[in-house]
Structure 1
Amino acid sequence: MTLVQSPIRRFFSALTSSNRLRLFVWLSLATQILIVVTGGLVRLTGSGLGCPTWPKCTDDSIISTPEMGIHGLIEFGNRLLTFVLLIVALLTFVTVLRPHSDRATLTRITLSFFGFVALFIVGLVFAVRAIDFTAVSLLAISSIGMLSLALIFLLRVRKVEKKSLVGPAFGLGFGIILQAIIGGITVLTQLNSWIVGLHFLISGVLISVASLLVFRALPKPSQQVNQRSQLLSVPVAFVSVVTIVIGVLVTGAGPHAGDASTPRNGLDLEVWQHYHSYPGYAMLGLILLQWLFQLGTSKTPWTSLPTRVLGILLAVTALQAVIGVVQSRLGVPELLVAAHMLGAAVLCSLVTFQYLVLKTKK
């Protein structure tokens, strides 16, 4: 038995060694952004109900069938990507947990958490058959258990080490599971625009968590931070959140909120496009000020990490503004909408980086 296990253990130890950490945190961030794009592709191609039910693709099949055509393939492919995200998140979590001083306790909490995840899956199986007392009880008990253990885990990590990688790595995995559930609710509610919007906003949060992981995992060179740029980091983050939330509302009112038969949120698309643009322009102006202030301190645009981050953020924000205006004038064509969604996902990451880079003066 030892001869069989030893190579497996060696392989797993090598796979989750500390020198793999950079790879896993960058993969975590890249895949979180990628699933926003594939999720957008599902809506933009009208494939939102390519798999008409959940957790199965059809009542009789877990996977899409040839009869379902390209829409079923696109929707099922998007669902499969969730498993890729889970695998990357699990590898990241194990990699950061192995050297942790409180590993034994945190491992026990994690195993208990996954016990409730398994119970939740059982509840889903019952719920697919019939929404009865057993299904509701299993879902309620498992949900309370998962939330309680997640909170206990995060509090325990924070007590041992405030800036640990373990907390955000666990949070990322928890968020992916939550997203899978909300994705299922999205299908079961026939692509309700409000649920679709919530699905995107949680993706934005997970992108920020993945960005935090990258920031904490990478070495941070000594740097000078301009105080005025630092003071603007919170307003920039706030305005970016407002811009993205209003953008989600605009999407819910437009032609790409779901299938053609899906009810929209009832907002006036033309009016709310203007509401979306105002905080977007404010965000662009604030980032320009940040960059100019920081440039005065760093003197060169690329040798300083804060100046680099702000420069890239400024360029992406300006490009987003241009795409937003052009897509509005052209009647929101699918390709530009996809580019705008990708830009929003990248902005979630860059805004997080600007806050983290600027918040501590060195």
Structure 2
Amino acid sequence: MTTSQTSSTRPDDPAPAERDPRPAARGVWRYIPGFGRPTIRFVHRWAIALLVSNVGIVATGGAVRVTGSGLGCPTWPRCTDNSFVPHEELGIHGAIEFGNRMLTWVLIIIAIAAWVAVLRYAGSARRDKWTVTLIALGIPFQGVIGGITVLTDLNPWVVALHFLLSMALVSAATVLVYRLRPYPTPAEPAAVDADVPASATRRLGVYLAWLIYVVTWVTIYLGTVVTGSGPHAGDVDAPRNGLDPDNATQLHADAVFVLVGLALAALVYARVFARPQQRSALVFVALLALQGVIGFVQFATDLPVALVIAHMFGSALLLIGATWQVLVARATDQPRVDAA
């Protein structure tokens, strides 16, 4: 063995994640902690912050709706025709709606920080950069859709679109968190049955994960239809979609039953074949059970405000779980190392 070979494999040689061959950061970025030479852990934390803030805006938007504050600021982008901020005559509803609008700016700041961190991190793949860019652009676009909901006096179909776009950002942020995680992907196990090809077993898991993801979206959409037919319009004078609430609720429940069957099938599959997605499948089943209990109780108790907000928050968690299952099912056994 040559001297160079020996020195490259000695025990005290730094791990790949500890090497930093890049020159010191220059320009304004060197004065901003973390952003001068971002590490994978630093970038991952910003990705998590982006996901949490997107889930948070879903919950606060739900609070605006169920408190009847959707037209607390009756126009957009101003709060009133003559002011960007609410006045005393608008009362608590104006304060709630204006507060939700201000939270959008907090989300934009977090999105910009995450975007800069991902683009400056040396180990970011092209798809990571595209993902964070689309999220960053989607947030102000989502704000415009929110303005349209106000200008259309909370049309239930536009309100539903506003919510669905928020959920799309939640799903995209979940992808970013998964892709930038600083720990390795679970290893691929050997096939349990030698007669069953490992590739066929893996494809089955991928198909199940995608089915769960699609049905989760269908269930969430039907949930917006239920909301559009019910009492929580966001304002006492806001229109409803004209559908019968009982029929809309039954259709939503039918989709939930399909989702429960698929979730249990995915869990059994993962357990039988000892797949890496055992944990994610179990967590999804637990989230689905909790969301089902909340949905049933809120329906039986005439939709109390707290439970409606919890149900919307649970929808975001379910979509995170469904997205995570797809990512784990498609994952390889190659660990991600810090190239910073």
For the aligned pair, the TM-score class normalised by the smaller chain equals: 0.7 to 0.9
Query: What's 2:195 paired with?
Result: none
CA distance in 2, matches of 1:44, 1:21: 35
Kindly indicate whether the alpha-carbon contact (under 8 Å) linking 2:29 and 2:35 is maintained by their aligned counterparts in 1: no
Query: What's 1:271 paired with?
Result: 247
CA distance in 2, matches of 1:215, 1:9: 26
Query: What's 1:10 paired with?
Result: 30
Quote how far apart the aligned CAs of 1:307 are. Answer: 1.7
Return the match for 1:293 from 257, 269, 276: 269
Work out the number of aligned pairs and report it: 293
Q: Give the letter aligned to residue 31 of structure 2.
A: F
> TM-score scaled by structure 1?
0.76
Query: What's 1:66 paired with?
Result: 88
Q: How does 1:162-241 map to 2 (within 5 A)?
A: 164-218=127-181, 219-224=183-188, 227=202, 228-241=204-217
Query: What's 1:326 paired with?
Result: 297
Quote how far apart the aligned CAs of 1:360 are. Answer: 3.3
Quote how far apart the aligned CAs of 1:260 are. Answer: 1.6
Quote how far apart the aligned CAs of 1:231 are. Answer: 2.6
Query: What's 1:144 paired with?
Result: none
Q: Give the letter aligned to residue 324 of structure 2.
A: F
Query: What's 1:98 paired with?
Result: 120
Q: Report SS of the residue matched to 2:238.
A: coil
CA distance in 2, matches of 1:320, 1:99: 37
Q: How does 1:122-141 map to 2 (within 5 A)?
A: none
Q: Which is richer in helix? A: 1
Quote how far apart the aligned CAs of 1:326 are. Answer: 1.6
Kindly indicate whether the alpha-carbon contact (under 8 Å) linking 1:294 and 1:306 is maintained by their aligned counterparts in 2: yes
CA distance in 1, matches of 2:95, 2:46: 28
Query: What's 1:31 paired with?
Result: 53
> TM-score scaled by structure 2?
0.81
Quote how far apart the aligned CAs of 1:99 are. Answer: 4.0
Query: What's 1:153 paired with?
Result: none
Query: What's 1:155 paired with?
Result: none
Q: Give the letter aligned to residue 242 of structure 2.
A: G
Quote how far apart the aligned CAs of 1:39 are. Answer: 0.3
Query: What's 1:51 paired with?
Result: 73
Quote how far apart the aligned CAs of 1:250 are. Answer: 0.8
Quote how far apart the aligned CAs of 1:49 are. Answer: 0.8
Q: Report SS of the residue matched to 2:323.
A: helix
Quote how far apart the aligned CAs of 1:241 are. Answer: 1.2
CA distance in 1, matches of 2:158, 2:184: 38
Quote how far apart the aligned CAs of 1:55 are. Answer: 0.6
Aligned-pair Cα RMSD in Å:
2.1
Quote how far apart the aligned CAs of 1:71 are. Answer: 1.1
> What does the per-residue CA deviation read over 1:138-169, in whole Å, with 9 as the maximum and x for residues that have no partner?
xxxxxxxxxxxxxxxxxxxxxxx55x310110
CA distance in 1, matches of 2:70, 2:306: 17
CA distance in 2, matches of 1:322, 1:45: 22
Kindly indicate whether the alpha-carbon contact (under 8 Å) linking 1:306 and 1:354 is maintained by their aligned counterparts in 2: yes
> What does the per-residue CA deviation read over 1:284-307, in whole Å, with 9 as the maximum and x for residues that have no partner?
121112112212333xxxxx8522
Compare CA radii of gyration and give the structure with the larger one: 2
Quote how far apart the aligned CAs of 1:8 are. Answer: 5.3
CA distance in 2, matches of 1:178, 1:96: 21
Return the match for 1:313 from 269, 284, 294: 284
Query: What's 2:230 paired with?
Result: 254
Quote how far apart the aligned CAs of 1:221 are. Answer: 2.6
CA distance in 2, matches of 1:231, 1:9: 44
CA distance in 2, matches of 1:100, 1:265: 49
Kindly indicate whether the alpha-carbon contact (under 8 Å) linking 1:224 and 1:297 is maintained by their aligned counterparts in 2: no
> What does the per-residue CA deviation read over 1:288-332, in whole Å, with 9 as the maximum and x for residues that have no partner?
12112212333xxxxx85222111111011111111122112221
Quote how far apart the aligned CAs of 1:100 are. Answer: 5.6
CA distance in 2, matches of 1:292, 1:361: 21
> What does the per-residue CA deviation read over 1:50-96, in whole Å, with 9 as the maximum and x for residues that have no partner?
11111111122212223322111111110011111111111111111
Kindly indicate whether the alpha-carbon contact (under 8 Å) linking 2:219 and 2:252 is maintained by their aligned counterparts in 1: yes
Q: Report SS of the residue matched to 1:56.
A: coil
> What does the per-residue CA deviation read over 1:10-36, in whole Å, with 9 as the maximum and x for residues that have no partner?
332634623421110000000000000
